[in-house]
Structure 1
Amino acid sequence: MPGSPAQAPAEPSAAVRSAAAAAWWTRWWVRVLAIFVASRVVTTVILLIFAANQGQNPWTGPKPDYFSFATIWDGLWYNIIAVSGYPSTLPTDGGHVTENAWAFMPVYPGVVNAVMFVTRLSWAPASVLVSVACGAGAALVFHRLLRRVGLSESTALFAIVLFCVAPVSPLFQVSYAESLGILLLAVALLLLVERRYGWLFPVTLVMAFTRPSGLAFALALGLHVIYRWVRRGTDPFPVRERVLSVSLTVFSGLAGLAWPAIAGLVTGSWTAYTDTELAWRAAYIGYVHLVPFAPWFQGAQWWSTVMLGIPGWVGIVALVVIVALYAVLLFSPPVRRLGPDLLFWVIAYSVYLFAVFFPQSSTFRLLLPLFPLLGVLALPRSRVYRVLMVVLFLAMQVGWIAICWGVAGADWSPP
């Protein structure tokens, strides 16, 4: 009634407040971030235990603190790049190019430099901060990618659990470019699945200067274009999308060749990048030329004869069998549930890896871009299976840190 005192708004009931709180907690991004944070706590504890037992090594004194332990191995190379850039003259041992900064791409140290400038942090905490932030972003985008290709919320969330506790997941909190590279790759795959080709140009370019990915992604794009062309009768492939997707394929290929070209221009040697990469495998098989698809066969012979003391042909036969079984697996019904575009990436990157990389301890890290396959491992809904998978992954994580990250004297098993 006019002139009567206004009534105070009613307080929300306890049930309404409870429902609102529950709704907030059940948001997908909250769950993903909670999984990521919990996994990082576990991995931090594991790394600290190893650091407390770490002896004197080329990077730190005995019992290093967390940040010192997190910046060993390639972290030093990225630090060198951030401080002094790349050499204009390739270092040699008198006849062959030796290990140098050209093997590492500039985006990650550039981003860390920017964070150092803004926050005034030193290299070690700034580099770890960038890796952790990018790892969290990668987990969020990976979840959206899995939901976009049709996997259930339960499956997508468990895939995130596997992603966060994977054997090489400590890379999400050390001074390596993998976190940033995986974040960019996840974004690129999501844009590809959604056919947002225009947005892929800048992402593909930055990705190619973060980790070696341009040529593999160009192959995946090529398979995508062929697939769309073949299915254009049932799935329209407009002229605009044809032009954009073909242009993007060519652009990605050129982006993949850009860093070796830049290394060649700066140093005056057009083989600067490949010679630098080959320096890392010289300790195993000596200095050899890069012949596509030869490294894995060279590796099979080396591991058989040198490490196992058995005839080299045994290793080659084992390699052929493993590759054949892997090819069959890629075309199995569970993998096909990921959709054609994620399958194209897995095929393309597998071919690229098989063509140019030499199998050794770093191979475990180089398998990380195959992370979409975690969606397949997450498909079974059995609680027993899921618990066992988490336990297995954590045990393998401890094994990876022990073998690859921890340093024992003159360590020949880099991460």
Structure 2
Amino acid sequence: MNELATADVPGRTRCDGFAVRAALRRAAPALAAFAAVRMLGLAVLAVWSAANGKSWHTLLTARWDSLWYTRVAEQGYGYSVQLANGDVHSNLAFFPLLPWLERGLSALSPLSPADAGMVVAWLASLAAAWALYATGERLHGPGTGVALAALWAALPVGIVQSMAYSESLFTALAAWGVYCVLTGRWVWAGVLASLAGLTRPVGAAVVAALWITAAVTVWRARAGGAGWRAALREHRGMLLGVLLAPLGWCGYFLWVGAQRGSLTGYLEVQGGWGNGFDGGLAFASFIGHQLSGPAFAAGLGLLVGVGLVIWLYVHGVRRGQPLPLAVYGGTVLLLALTAKGYFGSKPRLMLPAYPLLLPLAAGLARWRPVRSWLVIGVVAVGSAVYGAFWLNGSGPP
């Protein structure tokens, strides 16, 4: 757990520039595969949108949540909409890092905040693909790293990675943060966890991965006869990383509470959107309603999908997935499945749960290259078609 691999994460030693370039060269096939899958998705979206008389650019930058992020970037917080049923949608529900980056990039360039958000998403998705490659390479070899990045790009909702949404930015920060935990870079892990916590509520998953791994590391050291002080001396920076990790998430949560005059202010904001956590009761009720009505096929598909993601998680844990990945992936999955609200958003909420794909990537890496890339190509085409259909229809609110 405390083994350090200086070639994979920037910022460790004076020769890190060389190490980063070497790591980037190794990751180049994964980044190329990721970019090819996403470019295919964008090409199909452009053709499909033109046939429907719509703009692919508008669909990526000025629909659904991207409008809320852009408004925060342009006007700050304090905007809300009251619906006919009395619900209040406040922009305090949207964490600030993406709007900050949109505002900063648009101030330094000719880009509008909306276009800046799309550029941030595209660059962040490449950073996330690099982190996925580094993770797969470390655990199972280069082939797994390439397959993991390509599979993540080819998810059915992969088009969200190219939208002015926060999923790509969050996944990049989370994946590098978890990788730093995996390699014992505790301070970097804490910084990245804090930034992930400023990006999405599920940033708590990165904090959990760091805290639980740190606790288990200290416990194992004590079980081996060393005291906790000796464990902290051996794992330098662990305590600082643990302290830094929750600052972003807790800071925004407390700031919203101060704005609302209530310690639970952020939960009240989410309640106004119809969101929150009920242990999965609302989602189970929704699936049950689908199964008992004319939408039986859709309900059955949902049930199979939930079973599949749970199986992937359990399978990865049984295969010995490292603790930081198991905790992070399990927390993202738990939060997504137990949240109430608009159930069409659940696939998007699970987009950052890349550890679920590790067993599939490792399996593909063992196949002959022609066979594995044929499978990835078929999945990528399906993802591109579905993404174009989805955005030109109900979309990912």
TM range (shorter): 0.7 to 0.9
Q: Which residue of 2 aligns with 1:414?
A: 396
Q: Distance in 2 between matches of 1:277 and 1:265?
A: 15
Q: Which residue of 2 aligns with 1:297?
A: 281
Q: Distance in 1 between matches of 2:48 and 2:315?
A: 39
Determine helix, strand or coil for the equivalent of 1:121: coil
Deviations 1:350-383 (A, max 9, x none): 2333444546111111111211222211122224
Deviations 1:1-56 (A, max 9, x none): xxxxxxxxxxxxxxxxxxxxxxx9x94233233223322320111111232144xx
Counterpart contact for 2:157–2:387, Cα < 8 Å: yes
How do 1:86-101 and structure 2 match up within 5 A? Answer: 86-87=77-78, 91-93=81-83, 96-101=86-91
- Percent identical: 23
Q: Distance in 2 between matches of 1:199 and 1:182?
A: 16
Counterpart contact for 1:68–1:124, Cα < 8 Å: no
Are residues 1:374 and 2:363 paired? no
Q: Distance in 2 between matches of 1:165 and 1:245?
A: 35
TM-score (norm 1): 0.76
Deviation at 1:249, TM superposition (A): 4.1
Aligned partner (choices 35, 44, 67) of residue 46 of structure 1: 44
Q: Which residue of 2 aligns with 1:110?
A: 100
Deviation at 1:178, TM superposition (A): 1.2
Deviations 1:131-184 (A, max 9, x none): 111111111122112222x21111211212112222222122211111111111
Q: Which residue of 1 aligns with 2:271?
A: 278
Whichever residue aligns with residue 169 of structure 1, its letter is G
Whichever residue aligns with residue 263 of structure 1, its letter is V
Counterpart contact for 2:81–2:88, Cα < 8 Å: yes
Deviation at 1:119, TM superposition (A): 1.5
Q: Distance in 2 between matches of 1:291 and 1:29?
A: 38
Deviations 1:245-304 (A, max 9, x none): 45644653454333232112123344442233233337xxxxxxx5541xx221221332
Q: Which residue of 2 aligns with 1:353?
A: 336
How do 1:162-181 and structure 2 match up within 5 A? Answer: 162-181=151-170
Determine helix, strand or coil for the equivalent of 2:293: coil
Aligned partner (choices 159, 171, 181) of residue 148 of structure 2: 159
Counterpart contact for 2:187–2:237, Cα < 8 Å: yes
Q: Which residue of 2 aligns with 1:402?
A: 389
Whichever residue aligns with residue 177 of structure 2, its letter is A
Which one is further off, 237-246 or 178-187? 237-246
Q: Which residue of 2 aligns with 1:10?
A: none
Whichever residue aligns with residue 220 of structure 1, its letter is A
Determine helix, strand or coil for the equivalent of 2:156: coil
Q: CA RMSD in A?
A: 3.4
Q: Which residue of 2 aligns with 1:218?
A: 207
Whichever residue aligns with residue 77 of structure 1, its letter is W
Are residues 1:261 and 2:254 paired? yes
Q: Distance in 1 between matches of 2:85 and 2:234?
A: 50
Are residues 1:189 and 2:178 paired? yes
Which one is further off, 384-393 or 107-116? 384-393
Deviation at 1:328, TM superposition (A): 6.0
Deviation at 1:191, TM superposition (A): 0.9
Instruction: Say if 1:373 and 1:327 are closer, same or farther in 2 by CA, change over 3 A.
Output: closer
Q: Which residue of 2 aligns with 1:70?
A: 60
Which one is further off, 71-80 or 245-254? 245-254
Determine helix, strand or coil for the equivalent of 1:116: helix
Instruction: Say if 1:401 and 1:63 are closer, same or farther in 2 by CA, change over 3 A.
Output: closer
Are residues 1:391 and 2:378 paired? yes
Whichever residue aligns with residue 402 of structure 1, its letter is F
Q: Which residue of 2 aligns with 1:124?
A: 114
Deviation at 1:127, TM superposition (A): 1.9
Instruction: Say if 1:34 and 1:253 are closer, same or farther in 2 by CA, change over 3 A.
Output: closer
Aligned partner (choices 163, 188, 199) of residue 199 of structure 1: 188
Whichever residue aligns with residue 352 of structure 1, its letter is L
Q: Which runs of 5+ in 1 are unaligned?
A: 1-23, 55-61, 283-289
Deviations 1:309-336 (A, max 9, x none): 28x9xx89x97x9878866653436763
Q: Which residue of 1 aligns with 2:9?
A: none
Counterpart contact for 2:31–2:130, Cα < 8 Å: yes
How do 1:220-239 and structure 2 match up within 5 A? Answer: 220-232=209-221, 233=223, 238-239=231-232
Counterpart contact for 2:40–2:384, Cα < 8 Å: no
Instruction: Say if 1:305 and 1:333 are closer, same or farther in 2 by CA, change over 3 A.
Output: closer
Determine helix, strand or coil for the equivalent of 2:140: coil
Q: Distance in 2 between matches of 1:326 and 1:67?
A: 31
Instruction: Say if 1:276 and 1:393 are closer, same or farther in 2 by CA, change over 3 A.
Output: farther
Residues paired across the two proteins, number: 363
Q: Distance in 1 between matches of 2:317 and 2:66?
A: 37
Counterpart contact for 1:220–1:347, Cα < 8 Å: no
Aligned partner (choices 127, 143, 156) of residue 137 of structure 1: 127
Are residues 1:330 and 2:330 paired? no
Are residues 1:364 and 2:347 paired? yes
Counterpart contact for 2:283–2:337, Cα < 8 Å: no
